[in-house]
Structure formats: C-alpha cells, structure tokens
Amino acid sequence: MFPVGKASGAKVEVYLGNSSVAAYVAYVPDDPGTLWTVFSYDSVTGIITPINDVTYHSSPSSIGQ
C-alpha cells in the first residue's frame, strides 16, 4: 500500500514546450481516497483548470486502464 495525502510527497508538475519552469504545480491534498484528480486540460485552448480533489474509486485497480 502506498502512503496517501501529503505524507506521500506526491506532486504533479506541468511544463509547456521547452520551458524549464513549471507552468502548473499541484501537491496532493491531505485527504483520504484512492483517486487524485489533479486538473482538466483543454487541448484546443491549452487551458489547465485546477481540480486537486481526492475521491474514492469503487475499483482502484482499474484506474487508468
């Protein structure tokens, strides 16, 4: 089992183009759950919309499949 919440140290960094500076950084919230929804991304406009929410998924092993 992996640690959840801030204890995991998990973060997501989004880089645009060849930039060495992250355009968006999100740290995992200290909330219980099995699914971390970090952001939504509109590929047409290039807009990142922060979500940063942790919820429970009924079948965690199937996430991302």
d(CA 60, CA 63): 5
**Domain range enclosing 16:** 5-56
φ/ψ of 2, rounded to 5, equals -90, 150
Give 26 or 4, the one with higher predicted confidence: 26
For the question of whether the overall pTM of this predicted structure is more than 0.85, the answer is: no
**Per-residue confidence (pLDDT) for residue 1, from 0 to 100:** 42
Does residue 32 form part of some domain? yes
Q: Report the distance separating Cα 40 and Cα 38, nearest Å.
A: 7
Quote the number of domains for the chain.
1
- Asked if residue 63 belongs to a domain, the reply is no
- The 10s digit of each residue's pLDDT in 14-41 is 998 898 999 889 998 888 888 889 999 9
